[in-house]
Amino acid sequence: MDRQLNFLVAVNALVLLAAVAIAGTDFAGIYNLQSMAVQVPELGLLAIGVTLTMISGNGGIDLSGIAVANLAGIVAALTVPLWISADDSPMTYAFVFAAACLAVGLLCGLVNGFLVSRASLTPIIATLGTSLAYTGLSVVLTNGSGVRLGYIEPLDNFGHMPILGIPMCFAVFIVLAVIVGCVLRFSPFGMRLYMLGSNAKAARFAGFNQIRLLMVTYTLSSLFASVAGFIIAARISSVKWDYGTSYVLIAILITVMAGVRPSGGYGKITCVVLSAVALQMLSSMFNFLNISNFFRDFAWGLLLLIFLWVSGIDLRTLFALRPRAGS
């Protein structure tokens, strides 16, 4: 299945070339590359969460990603200043902030995982319900307005500062992606997850604990979302409940573009990262061209449909001998 990988590399190269042709060589300059790299992690992390849940099959999907990210940022921004002063010890502040985000993500993920695995809710309904509940909680906590963090040096550095030319948050994203990729590929957890997604019945007879597997998968997904929440807070130094309303769509678009099978059982993290990068370049190209947000939504929707169509063709040729196997 390396076709998907080649295809995505080609897409990346094409978008880069098109962008340079349209927007000029500034596009490939170090400054613009860095500013794009800063924006990839949040979407990429949400997409990795969606990918993990999609691989688990049986309609698995996580629609609550951005809600968890915003809630994590908001809870941290409201509670951490109560314990630690940002002026006195900015470094501790940043670490406790991150820990608070992760704690919220863990809690939200456990709730999602419980609903999907134990209460056997359909993933769509469970994560739709929790995404409303988490968003609602964010609204209640902030009364609907944004919370400003002010300038906190370590946080701001994390969001923007490049080390050896690579922005810190992008480096963290790549490290996390590599870890998830390795876990999926080499660990028993990954093998079981793919197995559950490709054939739930066979997985049941294999005798491993499916409830725990789903629990871990949804918890991981929310944990990644909360890391995204931390990065958002660090990058724009404020948090609001309605940040990134179209991120649910974009995260799904990234996973579909990456060739993750919506019915479960197949998906590669390398492809997800490449797909996120391609989308970010496209988005930056739109920025250079001064294209409105409304048209951008239009383009994202259209792209999603086109990639569903393209991946459908691939599947049919791959499974030409057994046309029913893919469905």
Q: Residue 284's closest CA among 63, 32, 84?
A: 32
Q: Is 24 left (phi over 0), alpha (psi -120 to 50) or beta?
A: left
Query: Would you give the DSSP letter of residue 320?
Result: T
Partners of residue 162 on adjacent β-strands: 167
Min. distance of Cβ 139 from another protein in angstroms? Answer: 5
Backbone angles phi, psi at 107, to 5 degrees: -65, -50
Quick one: which of 151, 312, 318, 319 contacts another protein (CB under 8 A)?
312
If one asks whether residue 320 binds another protein (CB under 8 A), the answer comes out as no
Quick one: which of 36, 38, 104, 256 contacts another protein (CB under 8 A)?
256
Q: Give me the numbers of helices (H) and strands (E) for the chain, helices first please.
A: 13, 4
In our burial notation (b when 16+ CB lie closer than 10 A, e otherwise), range 157-190 reads bbbbebeeeebbbbebbbebbeebbebbeeeebb
Q: Which of residues 204-233 bind another protein (CB under 8 A)?
A: none
Backbone angles phi, psi at 5, to 5 degrees: -65, -50
If one asks whether residue 130 binds another protein (CB under 8 A), the answer comes out as yes
If one asks whether residue 121 binds another protein (CB under 8 A), the answer comes out as yes
Instruction: Report how far residue 221's alpha carbon sits from residue 213's, in angstroms, rounded to the nearest whole number.
Output: 12
DSSP 3-state helix, strand, coil percentages of the chain (rounded to 5)?
Answer: 75, 0, 20
If one asks whether residue 137 binds another protein (CB under 8 A), the answer comes out as yes
If one asks whether residue 143 binds another protein (CB under 8 A), the answer comes out as yes
If one asks whether residue 122 binds another protein (CB under 8 A), the answer comes out as yes
If one asks whether residue 322 binds another protein (CB under 8 A), the answer comes out as no
The nearer residue to another protein, 119 or 320, going by C-beta atoms, is: 119
If one asks whether residue 146 binds another protein (CB under 8 A), the answer comes out as no
Q: How many CB atoms lie within 10 A of CB 85?
A: 12
If one asks whether residue 286 binds another protein (CB under 8 A), the answer comes out as no
Quick one: which of 19, 45, 115, 155 contacts another protein (CB under 8 A)?
115
- Is 85 in a helix, a strand, or coil? coil
- Is 167 in a helix, a strand, or coil? strand
The nearer residue to another protein, 159 or 259, going by C-beta atoms, is: 259
- Is 166 in a helix, a strand, or coil? strand
- Is 238 in a helix, a strand, or coil? strand
The nearer residue to another protein, 202 or 249, going by C-beta atoms, is: 249
Min. distance of Cβ 170 from another protein in angstroms? Answer: 27
If one asks whether residue 305 binds another protein (CB under 8 A), the answer comes out as yes
Min. distance of Cβ 77 from another protein in angstroms? Answer: 17
Q: Using the rule CB under 8 A, give the single segment among 35-43, 129-137, 158-166, 269-277 that binds another protein.
A: 129-137
Q: Which residues bind another protein (CB under 8 A)?
A: 59, 61, 115, 119-122, 124-126, 128-137, 139-140, 143-144, 246, 248-249, 252-253, 256, 262-263, 292, 294-302, 304-305, 308-309, 311-312, 315, 326-327
